[in-house]
C-alpha cells in the first residue's frame, strides 16, 4: 500500500493493482523474455496486447461495430486540430459549446481551419454551469457540434448527452463530437449518440500522450482539409489499425491493464455508483459548511474534479501544507482559478475521499 492519496487532475492516480502488475511484468511479459517496451509493435505479442485492450474497451463501453477505435498520440490537445481538419469537409463550418477552458482551447484551435460558431455558452455565469439545451442554437449547414463533457478545471460536467434533434436548428443527422478526456469511462454512455469521442488517457485510463478516439465509420469518408498530414488523418490510422507508425505501445499496454481492472470492478455501472458516492461525500461536506464553498451550479457539478475555496484564502497555504502532512497531495486548484481542486477519478479509492473529508472537517474545526 502506498502512503499517500494523489488528487492530481492529470496525469492522475492509477489503480495500485495495475501498477503492481506492470512491475511484475516489467522485465519479462508472459514469458516472452521481453518488456512490453521492447516489443515490436507488429509482433504477435504486442498485437495481442493491442487487440485485447481494444476489445476490453469495446466491451466496457458497448461500442457498436460501425465505430472504429484508434489509439493515437499527441494527447487530447492534438484532437483540437484533428477534429476540424477531418470533419469540417466542404461544409467548412462547425458549432462549439463553450463551458470553460478546455472548450475554449478547442474553439480557438478549430478557428484555424474553418468558420466556428458558438452554439451555447455559460460565459455569462462565469462558466459555472452547463447551458440547457433550450438555449442552444445550431447554425445551418454545420459539419458537427463539439462540446467538452467534463471541464476539468472548472469542475463542470454534463449529466446528460445532448440530443441535437431537440436543439433549435439542430437535427439527429449532425455528428456530435465530445472531448471526454476527464470523465471517460467514469459512467455508462451511449456511444451511438456520438459521431466522434476523444479522450486523453492520463485522467482516467492510463499514461499521458495516448489519446483514444472512437469514430463512426461513415465520418472517415469526409475528405480531410487539403494539406492535412498523413499522421493527422483519421483514415490513415483506421486503415492501419493504429499501426501506421509506431503507436505508444507501453501506454496502450497500461490502458489494457486498466480496462481489465475496470471489468473486475463490475464495469461502468458499478464504477459510476462508486464515483457518485465519492463525489457526494465531498459535496455534502462543502454544502453543509460555511467554511468551504463550491461555485458550480449543483446540477452541473463534476464527479471527477471538485473545485472548492476556503472562506479565507489566507488559509490556503496552511490547508495545503497540513493536507500534505496527512498524505493528501496535489489539492492545489488550477493556477487560473486558485483555491483547491480534488480530482477523484475512477482509481481514487473511497478511503482516499474519506480521509480527505475527515481532514477537511478537522481543518474547519481548527480554523473556523
Ligand atoms: C487534460 C485535458 C485535455 C488536454 O489533454 P493533453 O493530453 O494534455 O493534450 C483536453 N481536454 C480535457 C477535457 C482535459 O481534461
* Other beta carbons less than 10 A from residue 127's beta carbon: 23
Residue 2: pLDDT band with limits 50, 70, 90: confident
| Sheet containing 67-72, strands listed edge to edge, beginning at the edge strand earlier in sequence | 67-72, 211-216, 196-200, 176-179, 145-148, 93-98, 115-121
Which is the closest atom of ligand 1 to the Cα of 201? 7
- CA 320 – CA 356 distance, rounded (Å): 11
pLDDT more than 90, % of the chain:
98
Which is the closest atom of ligand 1 to the Cα of 75? 7
* Residues 101-139: tens digit of each pLDDT: 999 999 999 999 999 999 999 999 999 999 999 999 999
Is 80 exceeded by the pLDDT of residue 85?
yes
100 Cβ inside 6 Å of ligand 1: no
Residues 126 and 199 in one domain: yes
Residue 56: pLDDT band with limits 50, 70, 90: very high
* Residues 235-259: tens digit of each pLDDT: 999 999 999 999 999 999 999 999 9
Is 80 exceeded by the pLDDT of residue 1?
no
Residues 111 and 46 in one domain: yes
N- to C-terminal Cα separation, the chain? 34
Residues known to be catalytic: 102, 179, 203
- CA 86 – CA 106 distance, rounded (Å): 14
Is 90 exceeded by the pLDDT of residue 43?
yes
Residues 200 and 190 in one domain: yes
Residues 10 and 96 in one domain: no
User: pTM score > 0.95 for this model?
Assistant: yes
Is 90 exceeded by the pLDDT of residue 3?
no
How many domains does the chain fold into?
Answer: 2
Residues 271 and 220 in one domain: no
Which domain covers residue 307, as residue numbers?
5-16+267-367
Which residue bears the cell 495545503? Answer: 320
203 Cβ inside 6 Å of ligand 1: yes
Is 80 exceeded by the pLDDT of residue 60?
yes
Once rounded to an integer, what is the mean pLDDT over residues 163-171? 97
Pick the last residue of a domain from 263, 282, 316.
263
Residues 63 and 191 in one domain: yes
- CA 345 – CA 265 distance, rounded (Å): 14
Residues 245 and 281 in one domain: no
152 Cβ inside 6 Å of ligand 1: yes
Residue 330: pLDDT band with limits 50, 70, 90: very high
Once rounded to an integer, what is the mean pLDDT over residues 333-338? 88
Residues 223 and 102 in one domain: yes
Residue 275: pLDDT band with limits 50, 70, 90: very high
Q: Which residues have a Cβ under 8 Å from the Cβ of 195 and sit 6 or more positions away?
A: 87, 144, 175, 176, 177, 215, 216, 219
75 Cβ inside 6 Å of ligand 1: yes
Residues 295 and 184 in one domain: no
Among candidates 328, 285, 232, 264, which has minimal Cα distance to 8?
328
The number of CA neighbours under 13 Å toward the Cβ of 24 is: 9
Residues 30 and 57 in one domain: yes
Residues 121 and 242 in one domain: yes
Mutate to test the pocket of ligand 1, among 78, 102, 305 (most ligand atoms within 8 A of CB): 102
Backbone conformation region of residue 206, classed left if phi is above 0, alpha if psi is from -120 to 50, else beta: left
Supply the DSSP symbol for 332: B
Residue ranges in the chain assigned as alpha helix (H): 16-24, 44-61, 75-87, 101-110, 234-239, 249-264, 267-287, 316-325, 350-367
Give the pLDDT score at 335.
87
Task: Check which CATH number belongs to the domain holding 341 and give it.
Answer: 3.90.1150.10
77 Cβ inside 6 Å of ligand 1: yes
| β 292-293/176-179 pair status | unpaired
Residues 143 and 80 in one domain: yes
Mutual orientation of helices 267-287 and 249-264 as an angle, nearest 10°? 80
Pick the last residue of a domain from 263, 297, 328.
263
Task: Check which CATH number belongs to the domain holding 227 and give it.
Answer: 3.40.640.10
Give the pLDDT score at 336.
85
Specify the residue with its C-alpha closest to ligand 1, atom 14: 181
Q: What is the mean pLDDT of the chain?
A: 97
Give the pLDDT score at 173.
96
What are the grid coordinates assigned to 115, written together? Answer: 468558420
* Residues 281-292: tens digit of each pLDDT: 999 999 999 999
pLDDT more than 70, % of the chain:
100
Pick the last residue of a domain from 248, 263, 278.
263
Is 80 exceeded by the pLDDT of residue 164?
yes
Amino acid at each position: 500500500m502506498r502512503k499517500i492519496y494523489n488528487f492530481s487532475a492529470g496525469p492522475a492516480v492509477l489503480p495500485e493493482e495495475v501498477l503492481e502488475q506492470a512491475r511484475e511484468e516489467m522485465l519479462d511479459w508472459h514469458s516472452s523474455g521481453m518488456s512490453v517496451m521492447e516489443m515490436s509493435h507488429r509482433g504477435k505479442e504486442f498485437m495481442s496486447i493491442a487487440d485485447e485492450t481494444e476489445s476490453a474497451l469495446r466491451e466496457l463501453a458497448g461500442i457498436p461495430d460501425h465505430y472504429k477505435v484508434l489509439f493515437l498520440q499527441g494527447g487530447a490537445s492534438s484532437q483540437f486540430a484533428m477534429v476540424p481538419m477531418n470533419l469540417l469537409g466542404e461544409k467548412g463550418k462547425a458549432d462549439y459549446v463553450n463551458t470553460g477552458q478546455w472548450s475554449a482551447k478547442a474553439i480557438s484551435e478549430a478557428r484555424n481551419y474553418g468558420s466556428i460558431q458558438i452554439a451555447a455558452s455559460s460565459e455569462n455565469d462565469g462558466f459555472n454551469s452547463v447551458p440547457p439545451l433550450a438555449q442552444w442554437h445550431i447554425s445551418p449547414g454545420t459539419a458537427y457540434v463539439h462540446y467538452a463533457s467534463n471541464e476539468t478545471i472548472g469542475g463542470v460536467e454534463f449529466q446528460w448527452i445532448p440530443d441535437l434533434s431537440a436543439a433549435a436548428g439542430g437535427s439527429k443527422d449532425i455528428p456530435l463530437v465530445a472531448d471526454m478526456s476527464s470523465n471517460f469511462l467514469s459512467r455508462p454512455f451511449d456511444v451511438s449518440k456520438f459521431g466522434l469521442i476523444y479522450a486523453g488517457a492520463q485522467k482516467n485510463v492510463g499514461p499521458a500522450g495516448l489519446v483514444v478516439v472512437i469514430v463512426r465509420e461513415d465520418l472517415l469518408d469526409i475528405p480531410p482539409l487539403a494539406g492535412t498530414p498523413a499522421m493527422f488523418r483519421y483514415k490513415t490510422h483506421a486503415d492501419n489499425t493504429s499501426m501506421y507508425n509506431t503507436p505508444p505501445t507501453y501506454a496502450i499496454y497500461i490502458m489494457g491493464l486498466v480496462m481489465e481492472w475496470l471489468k473486475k470492478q463490475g464495469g461502468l455501472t458499478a464504477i459510476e455508483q462508486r464515483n457518485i458516492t465519492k463525489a457526494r461525500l465531498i459535496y455534502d461536506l462543502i454544502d453543509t459548511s460555511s467554511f468551504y464553498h463550491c461555485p458550480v451550479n449543483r446540477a452541473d457539478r463534476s464527479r471527477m474534479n471538485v473545485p472548492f475555496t476556503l472562506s479565507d484564502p489566507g488559509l490556503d497555504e496552511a490547508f495545503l501544507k497540513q493536507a500534505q502532512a496527512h498524505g493528501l497531495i496535489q489539492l492545489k486548484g488550477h493556477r487560473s482559478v486558485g483555491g483547491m481542486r480534488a480530482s477523484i477519478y475512477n482509481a481514487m479509492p473511497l478511503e482516499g475521499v474519506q480521509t480527505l473529508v475527515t481532514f477537511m472537517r478537522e481543518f474547519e474545526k481548527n480554523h473556523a
